Structure 1
C-alpha cells in the first residue's frame, strides 16, 4: 500500500531530510516512525500525503504515484488517507458533529450516509455524547479523539498520525492508542510518528527509525533505541 523507492528530499538550504529512503509498508501494518527532532520524520510523513514532494525517487500510495501526481489529483489521494495532526486542526465554530461531518460533505456523501457514519465513528472514539459541543468545550484528549473520528469517517485504508499523543498526559495518550490499535485490528494501516518511548516500548509494533535524514533501523516489534 505504501512504497518508497530511493527517495531523496533536499530543501533549499541544502538540508537533506530524506536520503535514499526505500521502504514498503503492507496493508494492515501498524508502524511507528521514530527519531530525534529534525531527523526527517515529519518530511517522511508529509511526503505520504503529498504535503512535501520528493526531490527524486518514487513514492506509491495504493494506485497513486506521488512523484508524478498532478495537482488536481492530490485531493483524490487524500480521500484514501486519514490524517491526524498533533494540533488537532478542528474548526472552532463547528460542533463536534459538524467537524466530523464536514470531512464527508466535501466528498459529497449523501446526508443519510453522513449521519450514519458520524454516529458510528463518534461511538468508536467514545464521544457520542459530545456531538453538540464545540472544540473549546473539550479537553485536549477529547479534541484528539474527534480529530481521529474525522480522519476515519471516510473509512480510509491508511491512517497517518503525526505525533497524535504529543501534547497528552499518559492516561489520555493510552486511550488514543487504544483507538488507533482498534482501527488497525479492523484492517486499516496505521503509520504514526512519535517521540513517546513509553508507548513504543509497551505497545510493540514495527519501528522505522530515522536519524539525520537516513533510515537507520527497520525492526518488527521493535522499541526505542538506547540513544533515544
Structure 2
C-alpha cells in the first residue's frame, strides 16, 4: 500500500516541485504517472524510494513513513522496492547473471538461493540464455529486461519504473510492457512514469496526471490525455 498525504516538495532554489499531493494506491495496482515535462513526475517517483525527502507531509510505503525514515533504514526500504530506470544503470563489467545477483549479494543471501532466484527471474524476462553476456553485448531492450530482472529479484512488493520504454523502439517497448504486466499479475504493485501515449491508451490502467506539482486527474482505466 502507498499513501501520500499533503506532500509538498520545495528545492533549496525555491522551486516547488510538488504542491499538496494526496493519493492512495492499493497493493497490486498498476498505475501510470503522466504529465508534461517539468510537471513533478520525477520528484514524485524519487520520493517513493527516498532518493528525495518531502518538505512537508507523509509518504507511507509498506507501512513505513518515508518522511521520517532514518537514513540507516533506507537500504531496508529499497530491498522491498524495485526500481527500473530509463537508462538501465547496469554495471558494465559484470555479466547479466552478476548484475542481477548483485542485488542479492548485498543482503548476504546464500549462494544456492542466489543462483536459483537469479535464474528464475532471467527466465521470467526471457534472458536465461544470455546469463553470461556483458551488457554491451545486448540490445537496448535486452538491457532493460536485465534491469527489470534486477528490480524484481528480491521479490519486492512495489516496482517503480521511471520511463522504462523511453530509450526503446516501439516493438521492444511492447515487449517490456508485457513483462511488466506479467509481474503485476503476480501481485506486485507497478508505478510507471511515462510519456508514451500509445502504451497508456492501449494498455488501460489507472492514470494519475500531474501538472505544476498537483494531481489534476486520477482515473481508473484512464487515457494519456495530452497532446505530444
Q: Which TM-score applies when normalising by structure 2?
A: 0.99
Give the equivalent residue in structure 2 for 1:98.
98
Q: What number of residue pairs does the alignment pair up?
A: 228
Give the equivalent residue in structure 2 for 1:199.
199
Flag as ranges the 4+ runs of structure 1 deviating above 4 A: none
Structure 2: runs of 5 or more not aligned: none
- The alpha-carbon deviation at position 68 of structure 1 amounts to 0.6
CA distance in 1, matches of 2:227, 2:195: 13
Give the equivalent residue in structure 2 for 1:151.
151
CA distance in 2, matches of 1:35, 1:45: 13
Structure 1: runs of 5 or more not aligned: none
List aligned pairs for 1:177-216, cutoff 5 A. 177-216=177-216
CA distance in 2, matches of 1:20, 1:167: 31
CA distance in 2, matches of 1:226, 1:101: 39
CA distance in 2, matches of 1:24, 1:15: 25
CA distance in 2, matches of 1:15, 1:179: 36
Q: Does the residue aligned with 2:118 lie in a helix, a strand or coil?
A: helix
- The alpha-carbon deviation at position 227 of structure 1 amounts to 4.2
1:78 and 2:78 matched: yes
CA distance in 1, matches of 2:25, 2:129: 36
RMSD (Å), alpha carbons = 0.7
CA distance in 2, matches of 1:76, 1:184: 22
List aligned pairs for 1:43-192, cutoff 5 A. 43-192=43-192
Asked if structure 1 preserves the Cα contact closer than 8 Å seen for 2:35 and 2:226, the reply is no
Q: Which TM-score applies when normalising by structure 1?
A: 0.99
Q: Does the residue aligned with 1:118 lie in a helix, a strand or coil?
A: helix
- The alpha-carbon deviation at position 180 of structure 1 amounts to 0.2
CA distance in 1, matches of 2:214, 2:226: 17
